[in-house]
Amino acid sequence: MSNIEKITNHLRKKAIERGGEPSRETLNIIYTKDGLTYHKTPDNEYYRIYDFIVGAKTYQSVEQPIHFFNAGKAFGKFQKQLSDFPAAELFDPIPNFHNTVKRFENLMTAVKNDKIGRAKSVTDEIEFAIKREKDTDVLLELMEKGAIPIRVTHNDTKYNNIMIDDITQEGICIFDLDTVMPGTLLYDYGESIRFGASAASEDEKDLSKVYVDLHLFELFTQGFFGELQNELTQAEIEYAPFAAKLMTYENGLRFLTDYLDGDVYFKTHYPQHNLDRARTQFKLVADMENKMNVMKEVVSKNAKTGARCKVRSSCNI
């Protein structure tokens, strides 16, 4: 909550400075009578309250392409407004959250321990993960060398973590700020593409339906990079398509690890739920690898020209 208080105060000031709507453009914490950001009950339960944002809603999937373009704008704007916030002031609520090397190591440990005897049934998925181990440390090494700057990042930029205005269709408020911490904006860009540009749901059983929708990919990229003109380094632009693949791969590792461990982290609704999730992620990774040259062209073009999809007609809707 300390992180969230600092971030939302910063975003509120930005909205006020440009004459915006601070009551709708960021979460607004309702403090307790004691001036705290949360309330702890005698039973050690914790509660927090935000002002309700009227006239906007979230979506579990992209129902209208213009929404995804506007989501890209909103996440890009989020990054731009926090570009002058000192990331070192934030706590790290989940250490190694996007440390893909650690995620891979966790999978190998789960394979070795094979707690409930599932490893033999997923040898293809394990092999798929192992073949891409070389990708796990790419962004980490670039950050360590300073080639990619450390910024304030959301780290869970799924499409359903943004409020879409009912009238303007604009992305107005990003929420679920519990994972805000220092990192690279490539994590945020990559996670948004992983979740929003997939043609299928995260647990689709028919893998023939799973692929990256290049139209949605370009719409989000237009919106995101359009808000960040002259803000990004060349390395951030260059590695953006790779980050989309890496975040997808990382989530596949996490789902597969949890499946092998007995479904102890992610909520599941049937025995193979985490396995289906892992398979969709790995299918999406493979499709991104096949389309990587096209994805690089899209990012390169839009990093130079910025947002263009400002009306419905130009979004091919």
- Give the model confidence (pLDDT) of 112-128 as tens digits: 999 999 999 999 999 99
pLDDT band for 229, please (50, 70, 90 cuts).
confident
134/16 same-domain check: no
Judge whether residue 160 has pLDDT over 50.
yes
pLDDT, position 307 = 47
- What pLDDT is recorded for position 133? 98
Instruction: Single out the residue in 52, 68, 91 at which a domain terminates.
Output: 52
Task: Give the whole-angstrom CA distance, residue 226 versus residue 230.
Answer: 10
pLDDT of residue 174 exceeding 70: yes
Q: Does the structure show a pLDDT above 60 at 312?
A: no
40 by DSSP, 3-state: which? strand
pLDDT reading at 313 higher than 70: no
Distances (CA, A) of 64 to 59, 71, 279: 10, 11, 26
- Domain end, chosen from 34, 52, 70, is at 52
Q: In the beta sheet, which residues pair with residue 162?
A: 174
Exposure string over 42-59, b if 16+ CB within 10 A, otherwise e: eeeeeeeeeeebeebeeb
How far is C-alpha 49 from the chain's CA centre?
24
Query: Which of these, 249, 248, 189, 246, lies nearest to 221 by C-alpha position?
Result: 189
Q: Tell whether the model's pLDDT for residue 315 goes beyond 60.
A: no
> The domain containing residue 18 runs over which residues?
1-52
d(Cα 288, Cα 2) in Å, to the nearest integer? Answer: 37
d(CA 123, CA 144) in angstroms, rounded, equals 33
Verify that 33 and 118 share a domain, yes or no: no
Quote the CA–CA distance of 112 and 39 in Å, as a whole number. Answer: 42
Residue 179, both tokens: 């994972």
Verify that 11 and 40 share a domain, yes or no.
yes
**Quick one: 79 and 172 in the same domain?**
yes
- Higher per-residue pLDDT: 110 or 158: 110
> What integer pLDDT is reported at residue 155 of this predicted model?
93
Q: Give the C-alpha separation, 222 to 104, whole Å.
A: 32
Q: The CATH number of the domain where 291 resides is what?
A: 3.90.1200.10
Reply yes or no on whether the pLDDT at 130 is more than 80: yes
- State how far the Cα of 265 lies from the Cα of 258, in Å rounded to an integer: 6
Residues 80, 179 share a domain = yes
Statement: residue 187 has pLDDT above 70 = yes
Residues 292 and 164 in one domain: yes
**Same-domain pairing of 41 and 27:** yes
Q: Quick check: 316 pLDDT over 50?
A: no
Number of domains into which the chain is organized: 2
Phi–psi pair at 208, nearest 5 degrees = -65, -20
Residue ending a domain, choose from 52, 73, 88? 52
171 lies in the same domain as 38 = no
Structure tokens at 133: 């181990």
Segment 170-198 mean pLDDT: 96
Identify whether residues 58 and 47 lie together within a single domain. Answer: no
Spatial contact of 82 and 154, defined as CB atoms under 8 Å apart: no
User: Residue 304 pLDDT more than 90?
Assistant: no
What single-letter DSSP state applies at residue 261?
A: H
Expressed in angstroms, the distance from the first to the final Cα of the chain is 40
Q: What is the mean pLDDT of residues 82-108?
A: 95
- Which SS3 state, helix, strand or coil, does residue 119 take? helix
205 and 256 together in one domain? yes
Pairing state between β 46-47 and 56-57: unpaired
pLDDT tens per residue across span 250-280: 999 999 999 999 999 999 999 999 999 999 9
Q: Quick one: 46 and 68 in the same domain? A: no
- Identify the H or E element spanning 163: strand 162-165
Number of alpha carbons in the 13 Å side-chain half-sphere of residue 97: 19
Residue 311 has pLDDT above 80, yes or no: no
Structure tokens at 175: 């929420």
Helix (H), strand (E) counts: the chain: 12, 7
The average confidence (pLDDT) of the chain is 94
Q: Tell me the two tokens of residue 147.
A: 């080639």
- Section 141-155 average pLDDT: 95
Distances in Å between the Cα of 218 and the Cα atoms of 65, 251, 306 are: 10, 22, 11
Please tell me whether residues 198 and 163 are part of one structural domain: yes
Give the DSSP H or E segment for 222.
Answer: helix 214-226
